[in-house]
């Protein structure tokens, strides 16, 4: 699931991982779920900690930067530096806290395994704001909730009250096998919200369409390039942007233990399209990590979140 409120960044943002303003691709691969070379470097870093100097550390810094954990803009130590410094240790601790791992600040086995798991492309932290930790620390304030663990994008963007009937378009290049799972995901959200979703055809450039679903590879023009097999698998933007992009380089299928599930990922990204950010409830569809072969539906946390956002 790629960026946080990409419009504001969402995601995955969005999650599975999303939240983002995102894009498209055309080729599907029937590869297995083995880690791709793009994340294999994490295995080489297992056991490393502050004070180490290794050639793959810049890649780790890039990973944490991508999802909002690390910003070297105002630091003297550049992201290209291969030194495991204080900033990297603090970023790792924040990541570990967000994903309920032991907060060691080192690349232990559990942290490596978590980072190698496919996820939504929407970032976990946007503009320095980590809502997962704030929620745990302060309970219920504004977008934060003491019992539930859902969250919204900065500014709580949502579809205007007059937009309860949303049209969506499946863009050219989308595999035919993906159409039915995507339609089922929209129907599931319709059954749990005030929204109705209607598929339309026509010109892909028709700006009267509310939501566009497409498959893309690598750089696709929305500022959130996909990264090949095994990391960010999709992303979507906050309301009312309407862009939802799958990473075409992933293995996709329906209830296939060796592939990402079309419907599960669609449920997550549609949550972003409606205004939900990531949840820290692992059972929720809005949890940012989406495992290969995992099949999930909406959780009570997801439904509570969407109803709270729209005051239903």
Q: From the annotation, which residues make up the binding site for Ca(2+)?
A: 210, 227-228, 247, 250
Tokens representing 195 are 């929204």
Token match 């799972």: residue? 181
Angle between helices 262-274 and 300-309 (to 10 degrees): 30
Annotated binding site for Zn(2+): 120, 220, 222, 235, 245, 268, 272, 278, 286
Q: Which of the following is catalytic: 191, 240, 269, 282? A: 269
CB proximity list for 235: less than 8 A, separation 6 or greater: 1, 2, 3, 6, 10, 11, 12, 13, 14, 18, 19, 20, 22, 120, 121, 122, 224, 244, 245, 269, 272
Annotated binding site: 120, 210, 220, 222, 227-228, 235, 245, 247, 250, 268, 272, 278, 286
Label each residue of 11-55 as H, E or C. Answer: CCCCCCCCCCCCCCCCCCCCCCCCCCHHHHHHHHCCCCCCCCECC
Distance, CA of 221 to CA of 209 (rounded, Å): 19
Is 269 known to be catalytic? yes
In order of 65, 257, 261, 302, the CA distances from 69 in angstroms are 6, 31, 27, 24
- Spatial contact of 276 and 242, defined as CB atoms under 8 Å apart: no
Residues carrying an active site annotation? 269
């Amino acid at each position: 699931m790629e960026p946080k409120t990409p419009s504001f960044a969402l995601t995955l943002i969005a999650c599975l991982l999303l939240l983002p303003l995102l894009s498209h691709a055309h080729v599907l691969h029937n590869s297995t779920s083995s880690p791709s070379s793009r994340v294999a470097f994490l295995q080489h870093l297992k056991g490393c900690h502050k004070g180490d100097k290794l050639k793959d550390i810049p890649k780790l810094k890039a990973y944490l930067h991508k999802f909002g954990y690390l910003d070297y803009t105002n630091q003297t130590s550049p992201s290209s530096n291969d030194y495991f410094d204080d900033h990297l240790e603090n970023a790792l601790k924040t990541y570990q806290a967000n994903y309920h791992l032991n907060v060691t600040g080192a690349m232990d086995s559990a942290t490596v395994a978590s980072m190698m798991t496919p996820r939504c492309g929407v970032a976990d932290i946007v503009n320095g704001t980590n809502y997962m930790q704030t929620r745990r620390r302060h309970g219920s304030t504004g977008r934060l909730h003491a019992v539930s663990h859902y969250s919204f994008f900065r500014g709580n963007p949502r579809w205007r009250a007059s937009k309860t009937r949303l049209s969506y378009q499946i863009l050219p290049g989308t595999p035919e096998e993906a159409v039915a799972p995507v339609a089922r995901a929209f129907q599931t959200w319709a059954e749990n919200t005030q929204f109705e979703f209607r598929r339309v055809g026509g010109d892909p450039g028709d700006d009267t369409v509310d939501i566009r679903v497409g498959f893309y590879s690598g750089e696709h023009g929305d500022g959130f390039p996909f990264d090949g097999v095994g990391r960010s698998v999709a992303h979507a933007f906050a309301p009312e942007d309407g862009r939802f992009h799958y990473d075409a380089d992933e293995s996709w299928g329906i209830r296939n233990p060796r592939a990402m599930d079309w419907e599960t990922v669609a449920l997550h990204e549609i949550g972003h399209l409606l205004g939900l950010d990531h949840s820290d409830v692992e059972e929720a569809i809005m949890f940012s990590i989406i495992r290969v072969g995992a099949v999930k539906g909406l959780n009570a946390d997801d439904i509570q979140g969407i109803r709270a956002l729209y005051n239903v």
